Amino acid sequence: MIDLAATFLDGFATCRRPDKVLYHARAAPSSGMLHLGVRAVLFAGICSLAICTNASAGSRGERPAASTHSKISKSLAAKAAQHALPLPQASPANARRMRLAAVKSWRYQLRRIEPREIAASDADLLVMDYAPDRVYGVELPFSKEDVQRMRKKHDGGERILLAYLSIGEAERYRTYWDNTWYDAPTRPPWLLEANKDWDGNFKVRFWDRDWQRIVFGSPQAYLDRILGAGFDGVYLDRADVFQELEAENPQAEDAMERFIAELAAHARKLRPEALIVMQNAEELVHRTRVRLAIDGIAKEDLFYGVDHNEAPNEPGMVRDSLADLAYAQKHGLKVLVVEYLSSPVAAEQATRRIGTLDYLPLIAERSLGTLFYRPVPLPAASTKTDD
């Protein structure tokens, strides 16, 4: 009966709120529906109610609260999950996640990229810039031959190459940039103020269709160029910009969910095997469309340096991020973590701590101009004394 109930739950249970889908199970084979007994139907109904009750308690910034029925709901949900139908082994989504699951090491470099150095590395996954070499402010993308050479590992295997793609900021060194945008009269309405922490980057009203058309949807769009060059997928950055624009647009989080989902759908039309990893904005993994769109999530500054000073982060912030990342991992997403640390002691502690969570750690320098980085303590600040 439990098997039948799980099949019923897997194929039928859908819970909705007016503003979002809270739980949507995939369709199950119709043959399983024909033989459900009364006990199985009741069991599945209870499981569905328990899951929906917990799910409906959550909204952005919230997590399901404990209730008098929490132990019952968790037990029933666990039993249902044990008997849920798995994704078909041949499905593109399953193949993408299995490919990321096999990754044991990664690197992250956006500047001073040397294809020969990358080819000589043993990293299973590399996040890099699609066109890092610039002459007079013009991008010079890597050729397909360059990409293929960088994909090959020295042992004969292949690594995953993901190209960096900012979806929440415009970058003045990209091919799409128009220098007339510096002047207010000719600036597009979606272009906002500069990012003071990253030279040449400007926040955007990402829900604007003109901006989205720059990102994906045509042969000249940035995502389309990346996939056309032979990269295995994209590494989405600045999805978290929605947090900074909610005062202007209260539906900014909904808009970001929709943007990511549409971007992913377009990528998979071009190449079903295209990988998508999202950096930061980990609270979005509670959104169904985002979870289905991405294959992994990367977190910067999980334990240290959220203010770019290498200091330990506030415990509450760490706790919230860990809860979101655990939720992502539970739903089959690969979790990568990068800490920007110069202290060998802090780097070793962070690496060990990340590893115990079964996340994939990386210690890097914040400018991301070094492939093989080794932490070196920063020189102590000099002090001036009066004679």
User: What are the extents of the domains in the chain?
Assistant: 2-82, 92-364
User: Among residues 267, 292, 295, 265, which one has the least CA distance to residue 279?
Assistant: 295
More confident call, 239 vs 18: 239
What's phi and psi for 252, nearest 5 deg? -60, -40
pLDDT confidence bin for 116, thresholds 50/70/90: very high
Say how far apart CA 73 and CA 88 lie, in whole Å.
27
User: Does pLDDT of 68 surpass 50?
Assistant: no
User: Could you give the percent of the chain with pLDDT greater than 70?
Assistant: 73
What was the pLDDT predicted at 199?
86
User: Does pLDDT of 315 surpass 70?
Assistant: yes
Give the range with max mean pLDDT: 84-98, 344-358, 368-382: 344-358
Q: Token pair of 73, please?
A: 């709901």
> Can you tell me the mean pLDDT for 182-206?
94
> Can you tell me the mean pLDDT for 82-106?
80
Query: Which CATH architecture group holds 92-364?
Result: Alpha-Beta Barrel (3.20)
User: Does pLDDT of 378 surpass 90?
Assistant: no
User: Does pLDDT of 16 surpass 90?
Assistant: no
Mean pLDDT of the chain: 81
User: Does pLDDT of 218 surpass 50?
Assistant: yes
More confident call, 43 vs 164: 164
What was the pLDDT predicted at 155?
87
What was the pLDDT predicted at 88?
56
> Can you tell me the mean pLDDT for 190-198?
92
pLDDT tens track for 287-309 = 999 999 999 999 999 999 999 99
> Can you tell me the mean pLDDT for 193-209?
94
> Can you tell me the mean pLDDT for 233-244?
98
Diameter over CA atoms, the chain = 92
What was the pLDDT predicted at 255?
98
Between 1-10, 132-141, 376-385, the lowest mean confidence (pLDDT) is in 1-10
User: Does pLDDT of 380 surpass 80?
Assistant: no
Say how far apart CA 208 and CA 191 lie, in whole Å.
10
Between 69-78, 83-92, 166-175, 329-338, the lowest mean confidence (pLDDT) is in 69-78
- Residues shown for the chain: 387
User: Does pLDDT of 384 surpass 80?
Assistant: no
